[in-house]
Amino acid sequence: MDGSSLATSLLVAVVGAAYVAFAILALTRIVGSTLDPLRTLAWVVAVVVAPFLGSLAWFTLGRPRPVVSAARLRR
């Protein structure tokens, strides 16, 4: 194995590990969230079917946001 193919193999392994870690992180956050069971199941299915897109959608659209009161915004 020459140097460039070793570097390519290493890059593929690192990107693959990051891909899997991103999906696992999303799944743990989904299961630990306060969503109702049906929405939780829908998000889990989305991440299992399309790990990268489902995880990205969860972190951008699906996470419950804390409610901030108007009084707290004025501080």
The pLDDT tens digits of the residues spanning 25-64 come to 999 999 999 999 999 999 999 999 999 999 999 999 988 7
Region 16-31: what's the mean pLDDT?
96
pLDDT at 1 (0 to 100): 64
Neighbours of 30 (CB within 10 A): 22
Any idea what the Cα angle at residue 59 is, between residues 10 and 70, rounded to 5°?
145
Cα separation, 44 vs 64, whole angstroms? 15
